[in-house]
């Protein structure tokens, strides 16, 4: 989000009168483009980060305002390009957080693109809940969460791990994540690594999912670990004891009904 705000700040003053002339006076967001009127999103894209696409900008529930969505990142931009809004939009009738609903769909879409064959999974035979956890081998609270895996599984929680070495590429934690993936028994290697046991760092393999999952975590706005995403797309930042985590998942599910 900071990256988007910086881009908007740098470019806002350059749009000039051209955008205002193209915006419809009544409701430029919801107006149907004609052959004589250009799509106002074309000009708005000049204000947004490189690589932004027209489909990233869609009419918001508020006339005259677009919602800008990239992954699970959601913000708002007025159709004349003068104002950029960063925050949550609520429906006052239903009290629903419309922005969070968009973020939730974005998280589910991004995570569903990663096959389970590229995750490390610890789960009971008949799970009641599935969570995706971005984890760092050296993170103290990630280790605490993993040490309680038996209790999580007993409570019906299936844990799907993705790698998120907080220190970034070419660091010790990154190399440990790759060593875990390249081990003959990945689940056992992860458990030993989180217990502080040394890894065989000489083990290498052709390809690991570490870079892809790290990039995914950044797209989802992960800033710390463990970062937990429920099967409904809700985001839980940080460690919670097993029973509290299950209750949080239940509460989030109930709130969506």
Phi then psi for residue 209, to 5 deg, are: -85, 5
**Active site (annotated) includes residue 205:** no
Catalytic pick among 56, 73, 103, 142:
142
Q: Which two tokens stand for residue 181?
A: 């993936």
Long-range contacts of 233-236 (CB under 8 A, 24+ apart): 233/103, 233/104, 233/105, 233/106, 233/107, 233/108, 233/111, 234/104, 235/72, 235/103, 235/107, 236/131
Domain that holds residue 83: 2-93
Cis check: omega of the bond before 120, within 30 degrees of 0: no
State the pairing for strand pair 120-122/90-91. Answer: unpaired
Tally the domains of the chain: 2
Is 98 contained in some domain?
A: no
Cα–Cα distance between 28 and 78 in angstroms, integer?
10
**Residues 178 and 220 occupy one common structural domain:** yes
**Residues 123 and 88 occupy one common structural domain:** no
CATH classification of the domain holding 181: 3.40.30.10
**Residues 88 and 170 occupy one common structural domain:** no
Query: Which of 93, 123, 153 is the endpoint of a domain?
Result: 93
Length of the chain: 257
Q: Give residue 20's pLDDT.
A: 41
Catalytic pick among 41, 73, 107, 136:
136
**Residues 238 and 150 occupy one common structural domain:** yes
**Active site (annotated) includes residue 139:** yes
**Active site (annotated) includes residue 182:** no
Q: What is the pLDDT along the chain (257 residues), one digit of tens a residue?
A: 544 544 444 344 433 334 343 433 445 555 544 444 578 888 898 888 888 889 899 999 999 999 999 888 999 999 999 999 999 999 999 999 999 999 999 999 999 999 999 999 999 999 999 999 999 999 999 999 999 999 999 999 999 999 999 999 999 999 999 999 999 999 999 999 999 999 988 878 889 999 999 999 999 999 899 999 999 999 999 999 999 999 999 999 888 77
Per-residue three-class SS string for 218-231: HHCCCCCCCEEEEC
Catalytic pick among 103, 158, 160, 166:
166
Cα–Cα distance between 234 and 248 in angstroms, integer?
10
Q: Which two tokens stand for residue 22?
A: 């193209």
Cα–Cα distance between 114 and 59 in angstroms, integer?
29
With tokens 């895996």, the residue in question is 149
**Active site (annotated) includes residue 91:** no
Q: Which two tokens stand for residue 214?
A: 């790290």
**Residues 7 and 49 occupy one common structural domain:** yes
């Amino acid at each position: 989000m900071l990256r988007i705000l910086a881009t908007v700040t740098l470019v806002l003053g350059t749009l000039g009168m051209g955008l205002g002339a193209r915006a419809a006076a009544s409701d430029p967001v919801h107006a149907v483009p004609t052959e004589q009127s250009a799509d106002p999103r074309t000009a708005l894209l000049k204000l947004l980060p490189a690589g932004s696409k027209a489909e990233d900008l869609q009419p918001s529930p508020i006339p005259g305002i677009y919602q800008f969505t990239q992954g699970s990142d959601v913000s708002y931009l007025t159709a004349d390009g003068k104002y950029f809004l960063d925050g949550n939009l609520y429906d006052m009738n239903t009290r629903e957080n419309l922005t969070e609903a968009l973020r939730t769909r974005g998280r589910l879409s991004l995570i569903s693109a990663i096959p389970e064959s590229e995750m490390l999974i610890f789960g009971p035979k008949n799970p009641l809940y599935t969570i995706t956890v971005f984890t760092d081998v050296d993170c103290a609270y990630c280790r605490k969460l993993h040490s309680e895996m038996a209790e999580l599984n007993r409570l019906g929680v299936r844990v799907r791990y993705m790698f998120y070495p907080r220190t970034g590429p070419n660091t010790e934690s990154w190399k440990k994540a790759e060593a875990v993936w390249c081990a003959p028994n990945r689940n056992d290697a992860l458990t030993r690594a989180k217990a502080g046991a040394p890894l065989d760092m000489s083990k290498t393999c052709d390809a690991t999912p570490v870079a892809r999952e790290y990039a995914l975590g950044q797209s989802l706005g992960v800033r710390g670990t463990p970062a937990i995403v429920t099967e409904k797309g809700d985001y839980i930042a940080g460690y919670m004891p097993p029973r509290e985590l299950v209750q949080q998942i239940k509460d989030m599910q109930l709130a969506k009904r």
